[in-house]
Amino acid sequence: MGLLTDPSEQERLPKFIIAYHNKLCVLSYVIGIIWFLHLNLTALASVYFSENALLPGLVDLHFRNERDAASYYESLKTEAERFPGGVPQSWLVAAFTQLGLETYTHDFVLNNPLGTGRNMSGTNIYAILRAPRTANTEALLLCAPYRPIDSTQKSTLSGIAIMLAAAKHFKKYTYWAKDIIFLITQHEQLGIQAWLDAYHQTDISSRVIQAGDLSGRSGSIQAALNLEMAENKINHFDIKIEGLNGRLPNLDFFNLACRLAAHEGFRVTFKDQEELATSDMYLNWKRSLKILTLMMRSQATGTPTGNHGLFHRYRIEALTLEGKVTRRYGRLLGYAEMGLMLESIFRSLNNLLERFHQSYFFYLLPSNNWFVSIGLYMPAFAALAVGIVIKAIALRIETNRLTEIQAESIQAGQKLTEIVDYSFKATIPIFVLANTVGFLLYMSPAYVVQIGYYFRIKPEVAISSGIFAIYIAILLLPAFISLKYSSNKSQSWKVLKCITLLQLGLLTLSIAFINFSLAFIITVIYAPICIGISPSQSRFARWMKGLPVLLISPLGLLFLFTAYDTINVFPDIGGLKLVERSLSATRSAVLYSIHDEYIYGNWMFLVASTCLLPTWLQFWIITQTKITK
């Protein structure tokens, strides 16, 4: 602390920081980017099993129920046509009951948050295969969502058919040490969330989901596998792992699924990207970097990529296997190979003596054959973030020295502490105002909907219009609170920038330990712009400096990302049409983020409104502040 408050005691280091802090910031940023670009080199870390008890691929497999799976598929397809918009509940209950399993149904109701849609009711069907020689204190889960034939998404009937065939096969044997739960859910993630709430008797989503009670339950669930298969013959599986708020399953579970799927002849992809069989290092690096960035982009949103993503908060390792057909991947494999793969996975999970704990929970995947551990990717983030801290320290030293010089030149009787007090008194109201604005924005959807009722405006229109109106009002804030610093008090903006940089560093550091991808993306975008901003006397200069700051606002970034996605989906779209569709996608993304926050507990809207927005607003005020001599 002596360095920050009294630099005269140690002049060498403060002088060095003052003289070279800009170069140090640039150097650290470049090092962070270079480090990140080298994360996908195959020499860093190849995948391996930390939990030897899994014994993958070392059991004798006996699955021969492929004809049963095909029969289930045809019957289920016929029943689905009879219930085009619902679930063939009676048929599914009868199918599980005939296998001799404990079969139950679970009804739930969704009270749509903020009245932004119709309320929905749904039914989950689940069956429990009891382990014959244990106390039923542990369980494994195999699940699949039911999608009606009129759904816009791909069918999952094939996955349900192989689930029934696997249940019939598993029932024959007595070596199971854990119960096996077979779960079929309605309404995708809503059904999973309702079932998990009821199973664990929690009230995580009780504000909007009436989960009710379960008639039957098993023990603690250790692992869950979600199936999404539309065809009865496939040639590869795409593995999905990203969960709610960026959580990931234990790496051993991912490795297990990859290894055993490949063992039965299926090609395995991650992010729909296959390994390149080439010795060209550049092509390998380019492909792995693409996979790495796709994973980080998906993880940063905090949105689960499948039904598995909601299990992680209950300390249940889970992932999704999506069966696909791609011509270039060779011959098609049927239910026989699918059943053998499921049997081998569950036999390996059955060998576990305790929960997954030995392998990694924090990692990045540039490929399905090797990974980047937290010890390798965190230095890249640290190199990016250290520039923010260096700039904050330099600003603090500068303001101390300016204060000392001014104290010597001003009129007698004014004390040094009075100038310091003024610097902080001028910045504290802005700091409080910015954070208050963020909190009000987070609380605004419920009140905006109530206001919309008086004017007969639909809730979804009221929310999106209210958010955009608040955003415009925030942009105009500097016009009402613009500070004009006199010559002997011009260091106040530096104090504000120092505080804001420290706030940004603390924000990204806190997020990095939970969702590294989100923290890294924020730091990469914010660091070079926010470190270099400063106020100006000229209005034109203020707006030129404010333009990049405006683009990196939370809503500005959302618009840029949606515009990028729109260009990828519609490469031939024109300029005005691109803006129109991007605005519509931005509006939908805001609504979805609010919905996910209310229903599932997604943190994205909370972080963007109460953490990132106040930080950005202070930078915006700095760029739009006029300095007068």
3-state secondary structure labels for all residues of 292-341: HHHHHHHHHHCCCCCHHHHCHHHCCEEEEEEEECCHHHCCCECHHHHHHH
For the stretch 489-517, pLDDT in tens is 456 788 889 999 999 999 999 999 889 99
The pTM score is 0.90
299 Cβ contact list (under 8 Å, min separation 6): 242, 246, 248, 515, 516, 517, 518
- Does one domain contain both 317 and 178? yes
List the structure tokens of 104: 């139950």
Looking at the domain assignment, is residue 278 inside a domain? yes
Given this model, what pLDDT does residue 133 score?
A: 81
- Does one domain contain both 269 and 199? yes
- Does one domain contain both 344 and 475? no
Mean pLDDT of 121-134: 92
Looking at the domain assignment, is residue 4 inside a domain? no
Domain with residue 84: its CATH number is 3.40.630.10
For the stretch 230-242, pLDDT in tens is 888 998 899 999 9
For residue 451, the SS3 value is helix
- Does one domain contain both 196 and 163? yes
- Does one domain contain both 221 and 308? yes
Q: What element of type H or E holds 576?
A: helix 575-599
Interatomic CA distance for residues 227 and 346, integer angstroms: 13
Given this model, what pLDDT does residue 45 score?
A: 64
Given this model, what pLDDT does residue 1 score?
A: 43
Per-residue pLDDT for 408 more than 70? no
What is the count of structural domains for the chain?
2
Say if CB 63 and CB 171 are below 8 A apart.
Answer: no
Range of the domain at 539: 9-41+377-624
- Does one domain contain both 274 and 390? no
State what percent of residues in the chain have pLDDT above 90: 49
Looking at the domain assignment, is residue 1 inside a domain? no
Closest CA to 371 of 40, 37, 33: 40
**261 band by pLDDT with thresholds 50, 70 and 90:** very high
Q: Is 358 exposed, middle or buried (0-12, 13-18, 19+ CB in 10 A)?
A: middle
Per-residue pLDDT for 467 more than 70? yes
Return the sign of the alpha-carbon dihedral for residues 219, 224, 230, 236. negative
- Does one domain contain both 159 and 30? no
